[in-house]
Amino acid sequence: MADTDDSVQLWLVERSYDDRDLIVLIYATTDGEYELRKELAAAVMHQRRMVTTAAIEAPKKNLEPVTDETLQERYAAEATKMAESHAPDDEV
């Protein structure tokens, strides 16, 4: 896992759509302890031909702790699975 003083690598653990036409992406650390939630307009993603990658780098200060133990375990399992089966820049 790439980790510097101010950034960390996170893996895609969840992708969903909401009733406001937003794509919600949740990336988490492989230990499941931290997450980063991104909400993107589906129309904008399509227009700009934005892709979703298996992993992203993000500043530690932008991460939120995962306080629910069950969710933390699920995120850890999903992030580890993604890390084992994809390169960080793989389109998923």
pLDDT tens for each residue of 66-75? 999 999 999 9
**How many whole angstroms from its chain centre is CA 54?**
8
3 state SS of 67: coil
Q: Where are the domains of the chain?
A: 7-85
pLDDT tens for each residue of 49-68? 888 999 999 999 999 999 99
pTM: 0.87
3 state SS of 16: strand
**Residue with structure tokens 């895609």?**
12
